[in-house]
Amino acid sequence: MDRRTAHLAAPDVVSRLPLADRQRRVLSILGDDALDPALPSFRVVLADEVRRLFDRVVLPLALSSWPTLRDDGFLPKWRGGFELYGALGLSTMVTSRKRPPLVDLASRFLRACGASEGVVVAAGRAAIPVVFRALDRACCERVALGAAWILVLDEALDEGLAGRPVDEQKAIMRGVLHGLAPTWSPSSVQTAARFTRAVRGRCVGAADVAAFDALVVTATAWVDGELHGLSGDIDPDGTRWRQAGVTGSMDVLLWAVGAYAGDLERELLYAVAELGQIADDWLDLEKDRAQGRSTPATTGHWDGEAMVAVYARAEAALQQLADQAGEPEGGVFRRLLVRTFRGELQRMGRVLVNNP
């Protein structure tokens, strides 16, 4: 029996477990097999680019509306979430059926040469930044702003407006999704509005603007679902309101990499976002119950089996992406891709566990 499902022989009611056990459960399901820094992976390429994008594109913009950000508790969680979402956006460019010809040519050449994992990673570290920085810099910056926007919108909802009447929160957040925020509102809300304006400012042409306006519609459904939960309303379908956030947030990344993304990329991103949301809800049970907030975790709809199933769905989509990119089963590039993906999810789990 797989280590991720071995503990599921008996009914698995995560909502009844103490926090320490839930933390262990998250880490157990996501695993730790890809975290050894001695194992080659594309992490070294993605991490360098993601950190550079955060420091160059995101942080200066955020500090202009949130001057105390470096001293507040959100910054480590923001960086941690950004590492995952930013890496997802950039890796979509590399695994896509429409990936840049330079990437496809390099993969074919290294495969023909029988290059080792270490050689492939070294080549990637030299070549991939050229793709990210020179060939499609605008797309990478869209990914950075979109990934940051997702996370700060969530923070504004979860913490920035906590305690205010739901109708007031709804009105403020709908303004935020159009780039507006009251001058008295907390820094997270002001910053979320600023990032709305920045993301919309990256639209190119009428079709792109229309696609962004569609994002605002899905993000509004996300906000409304979150506020239903904050009000203690029980989701009639169990997970519909949470799924609005899962799909709405990932639609931002899909918009950012629209030239590369297709159905498989969408499936992978949705599954990864759902994994993160399930883990976050498991870890926030006490806080959510204290606030009278209803989530699929507090109602028991997201149990241990749910997280295992979503993990399997994400891995299946990843394997299909590797097939789509023409990477053979057992090939070096494919092994590195899977290890990198697993490592990013495992780091996400540790960020969530360490920053409750």
Task: Please check the confidence at residue 192 and state whether its pLDDT lies above 50.
Answer: yes
Look at residue 21 and tell me if it is in a domain: no
The predicted pLDDT at position 356 comes to 67
Taking alpha carbons only, the member of 35, 36, 34, 25 closest to residue 3 is 25
Query: Nearest 5°: CA angle at 256, between 318 and 347?
Result: 45
- Judge contact between 212 and 199, C-beta under 8 A: yes
The predicted pLDDT at position 28 comes to 93
- Contacts of residue 96, defined as CB under 8 A and 6 or more positions apart, other chains included, come to 257, 260, 261, 262, 265, 324, 325
The predicted pLDDT at position 12 comes to 58
Look at residue 146 and tell me if it is in a domain: yes
Look at residue 39 and tell me if it is in a domain: yes
Look at residue 87 and tell me if it is in a domain: yes
At which residue do the structure tokens 């979109």 appear? Answer: 146
Q: What is the CATH number of the domain that holds 261?
A: 1.10.600
Task: Please check the confidence at residue 269 and state whether its pLDDT lies above 70.
Answer: yes
**83 to 78, 254, 261, 313: CA distances (angstroms):** 9, 16, 19, 21
Q: What is the largest CA-CA distance in the chain?
A: 63
The predicted pLDDT at position 5 comes to 43
The predicted pLDDT at position 3 comes to 43
Domains in the chain: how many in total? 1
The predicted pLDDT at position 337 comes to 87
**What whole-number distance in Å separates Cα of residue 188 and Cα of residue 160?**
6
* Residue-by-residue DSSP string for 144-213: HHHHHHHHHHHHIIIIITTTS-HHHHHHHHHHHTTT---TTS-HHHHHHHHHHHHHHTT--HHHHHHHHH
The predicted pLDDT at position 355 comes to 73
**pTM, rounded to two decimals:** 0.85
pLDDT digits (tens, 9 = 90+) for 120-171: 888 888 877 877 777 678 888 999 999 999 899 989 887 878 778 888 988 9
Task: Please check the confidence at residue 4 and state whether its pLDDT lies above 60.
Answer: no
**232 to 133, 225, 243, 296, 299: CA distances (angstroms):** 46, 11, 17, 12, 11
pLDDT digits (tens, 9 = 90+) for 72-121: 889 988 998 898 889 888 888 877 777 777 777 777 888 888 888 889 88
Taking alpha carbons only, the member of 179, 183, 352 closest to residue 272 is 352
The predicted pLDDT at position 135 comes to 66
- Judge contact between 156 and 188, C-beta under 8 A: yes
Task: Please check the confidence at residue 57 and state whether its pLDDT lies above 90.
Answer: yes
The predicted pLDDT at position 138 comes to 86
Mean pLDDT of 245-252: 88
The predicted pLDDT at position 6 comes to 40
Look at residue 16 and tell me if it is in a domain: no
- Contacts of residue 342, defined as CB under 8 A and 6 or more positions apart, other chains included, come to 30, 31, 33, 34
| Mean per-residue pLDDT over the chain, rounded | 86
Look at residue 18 and tell me if it is in a domain: no
Q: Which domain range does residue 85 map to? A: 27-354
Q: Which comes out higher in pLDDT, residue 204 or 177?
A: 177
Taking alpha carbons only, the member of 138, 136, 191 closest to residue 160 is 191
Mean pLDDT of 297-315: 90
Mean pLDDT of 226-241: 84
The two tokens of residue 294 are: 């209803």
Taking alpha carbons only, the member of 92, 88, 95 closest to residue 325 is 95
**What whole-number distance in Å separates Cα of residue 158 and Cα of residue 177?**
15
The two tokens of residue 309 are: 């199933």
pLDDT digits (tens, 9 = 90+) for 14-34: 888 899 999 999 999 999 999
Look at residue 10 and tell me if it is in a domain: no
Mean pLDDT of 63-67: 91
